[in-house]
């Protein structure tokens, strides 16, 4: 089982992350210093988000390096590919912490507005917009490639796009302050930017959580319908799928086939792999083939109950175990 980040459209995932991290770092300096000098909290909030994006992208690069170097083993069945998910959770934590800090400062500035150098704030924000648009372009995943589903790139791209929109909002708020004199517009705009940031953090948290909770990686009912269209496939039972990381989808299934001998199932495996890999992105598949006679002798219930304190488990009778009550005859598993 290999898992590598290939060159696509001339850039690797790590290359895109490295270049964007540099752009975000430069933008942090430009807008951060500009915000402190001009008194604009909107610029400061944008700069902190740029700093967060730069750090998160550097962490993503480190996660990819670690995942590609750590091969699967008896101790780590899929290597360290799930490091990507943990780095995403850390990034979300940083994002929330920065958002809370900006919201607190916005509250203080609404109570006590400060003087803002409008012209210079517009100039710094325009420079930040140019840098954010450049980072957005670098991180845009090519259509129809594996990078399009990359959790690292998707998260970084959404951040860069959000930063660009925030720059536009800051510039509009500066114009509004110039004509109205309402300095409270700046902290209010900074608060709105933070709400957008928090929404993006929630999306990343939900996707990372889905991977950790082993949510099904694709529509099982649709996959079963497609598999049952294959010649000789009579039934699909106990299908399971999950993502190890955003790149690696794993699936298992029991397949009932119109064969009398299990050594006649090789051509079924090829067809099944083609359907699940081509249509549902499965990159590691384990199939248990069964004849009609085998299927009549057992069921496919997955039984697992955690005992409550002081209550006897009627299934486990005091013994904690996973029960999948049927025997697998030797030689009946095909794994790819």
pLDDT at res. 292: 72
pLDDT at res. 161: 80
CA-based Rg of the chain, rounded to a whole angstrom?
Answer: 26
We report the CATH number of the domain holding residue 195 as 1.20.1510.10
Cβ neighbors of 211 (< 8 A, separation 6 or more) are 82, 85, 242, 243, 244, 245, 246
Residue 223 pLDDT grade (very low, low, confident, very high; cuts 50, 70, 90): very high
- Claim to verify: residue 207 and residue 301 sit in the same structural domain: no
Q: Which has the higher per-residue pLDDT, 162 or 331?
A: 162
Residue 127 pLDDT grade (very low, low, confident, very high; cuts 50, 70, 90): very high
pLDDT at res. 222: 92
Task: Tell which of 212, 239, 260 closes a domain.
Answer: 212
We report the CATH number of the domain holding residue 270 as 3.30.70.1350
Highest mean pLDDT among 72-76, 91-95, 309-313: 91-95
Task: Assess if residue 54 is contained within a domain.
Answer: yes
Write the DSSP assignment of 218-243 as a string of letters: S-HHHHHHHHHTSTTEEEEEEEEEEE
Residue 146 pLDDT grade (very low, low, confident, very high; cuts 50, 70, 90): low
Taking the alpha carbons at both ends of the chain, their separation in whole angstroms is 8
Query: Sheet harboring 233-243: ordered strands across?
Result: 233-243, 249-257, 282-290, 333-335
Task: Assess if residue 4 is contained within a domain.
Answer: no
CA pair distance 225, 93, nearest whole angstrom: 41
Task: Assess if residue 123 is contained within a domain.
Answer: yes
How many degrees, rounded to 5, is the angle at CA 285 between CA 65 and CA 77? Answer: 45
The model's pTM is: 0.65
CA pair distance 250, 284, nearest whole angstrom: 5
Range 142-149 contact pairs with CB under 8 angstroms and sequence separation of 24 or more:
142/8, 142/9, 145/8, 145/9, 146/6, 146/8, 146/247, 147/8, 147/13, 147/16, 149/246, 149/247, 149/281
Task: Assess if residue 6 is contained within a domain.
Answer: no
Number of domains in the chain: 2
Task: Tell which of 212, 240, 272 closes a domain.
Answer: 212
Across the chain, what does the average pLDDT equal? 78
- Claim to verify: residue 130 and residue 26 sit in the same structural domain: yes
- Claim to verify: residue 200 and residue 224 sit in the same structural domain: no
pLDDT exceeds cutoff 70 at 172:
yes
- Claim to verify: residue 318 and residue 181 sit in the same structural domain: no
CA pair distance 254, 68, nearest whole angstrom: 31
pLDDT exceeds cutoff 50 at 331:
no
Domain residues for the domain of 81 are 13-212
pLDDT at res. 124: 93
- Claim to verify: residue 179 and residue 259 sit in the same structural domain: no
Task: Assess if residue 115 is contained within a domain.
Answer: yes
pLDDT exceeds cutoff 50 at 19:
yes
Task: Tell which of 177, 212, 247 closes a domain.
Answer: 212
């Amino acid at each position: 089982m290999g898992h590598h980040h290939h060159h696509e459209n001339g850039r690797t995932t790590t290359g895109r992350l490295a270049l964007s991290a540099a752009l975000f770092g430069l933008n942090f300096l430009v807008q951060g210093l500009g915000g402190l000098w001009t008194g604009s909290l909107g610029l400061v909030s944008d700069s902190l988000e740029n700093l967060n994006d730069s750090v998160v992208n550097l962490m993503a690069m480190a996660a990819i390096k670690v995942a590609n170097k750590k091969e699967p083993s008896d101790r780590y069945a899929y290597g360290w590919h799930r490091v990507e998910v943990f780095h995403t959770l850390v990034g979300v934590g940083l994002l929330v912490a920065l958002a809370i800090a900006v919201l607190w400062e916005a509250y203080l500035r609404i109570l006590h507005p400060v003087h803002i150098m409008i012209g210079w704030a517009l100039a710094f924000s325009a420079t930040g917009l140019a840098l954010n648009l450049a980072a957005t372009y670098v991180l845009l995943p090519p259509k129809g490639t594996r990078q399009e589903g990359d959790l690292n790139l998707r998260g970084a791209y959404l951040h860069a796009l959000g930063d660009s929109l925030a720059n536009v909002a800051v510039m509009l708020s500066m114009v509004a302050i110039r004509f109205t004199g309402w300095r409270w517009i700046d902290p209010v705009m900074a608060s709105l930017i933070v709400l957008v940031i928090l929404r993006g953090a929630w999306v990343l948290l939900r996707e990372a959580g889905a991977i950790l909770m082993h949510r099904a990686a694709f529509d099982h009912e649709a996959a079963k319908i497609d598999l049952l269209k294959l010649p000789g496939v009579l039934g699909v039972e106990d299908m399971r799928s999950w993502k190890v990381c955003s790149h690696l989808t794993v699936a298992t299934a029991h397949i009932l086939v119109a064969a009398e001998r299990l050594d006649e199932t090789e051509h079924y495996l090829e067809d099944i792999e083609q359907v699940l890999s081509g249509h549902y992105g499965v990159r590691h598949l384990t199939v248990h083939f069964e004849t009609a006679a085998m299927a009549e002798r057992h069921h496919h219930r997955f039984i697992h109950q955690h005992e409550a304190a002081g209550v006897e488990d009627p299934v486990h009778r005091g013994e904690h175990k996973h029960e999948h009550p049927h025997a697998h005859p030797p030689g009946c598993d095909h794994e790819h």
